[in-house]
Amino acid sequence: MKIHLRNLAPILAGLFFATAAALSLNAQITNPIQAHINHSFVIGEKTFPPGDYTFRMEKTSGLNVMRVENQRGDNVAQFEVRETTADHTPRHSELVFRRYGNTEFLSKIFEGGSKTGSELTENSEQEASMVSQGQLAMEHTEEQH
């Protein structure tokens, strides 16, 4: 009996780690996130007015492209993202912004219940200019209910 357990232990450990890895890969944002944003914000080179927006992963992008659109569907953008990890598990979905003066840039998005989220891969030219001028960002998180 002990011989069988010795042979079985590496197999069970491998299955455990494979399952854990598969779960972490699926932890990135998979559901649409509804958000009410009460200030204008920038994604890439586009400024969005305050309002209600839906953020969702593009199905054919391999979780690398996200889409945002307002409720009417007439204010739309796509942007590249990569996986990121929060320092906590948010109870509700969260949007993270970097603020320079009065301008806010979307930085990260987390789905409620998951530490793994999405972060924009590139800064806009406007944000890069602010950084090169020595402006410092204040990062803040807005919880969505």
pLDDT tens digit string along 39-76? 999 999 999 999 999 999 998 878 799 999 999 988 89
Render the burial of 73-97: b for 16+ CB within 10 Å, e for the rest.
eeeeeebebeebeeeeebeebbbbb
Please give the residue range of the domain that contains residue 126. 28-143
Number of domains the chain contains: 1
Q: Is 55 contained in some domain?
A: yes
Q: Is 118 contained in some domain?
A: yes
State how far the alpha carbon of 142 is from the alpha carbons of 46, 90, 96, 123, in Å. 20, 11, 6, 20
Q: Is 19 contained in some domain?
A: no
Q: Is 41 contained in some domain?
A: yes
Q: Is 15 contained in some domain?
A: no
Q: Is 11 contained in some domain?
A: no
Q: Is 7 contained in some domain?
A: no
pLDDT reported for residue 18: 47
pLDDT tens digit string along 94-129? 999 999 999 999 999 999 999 999 999 988 899 999
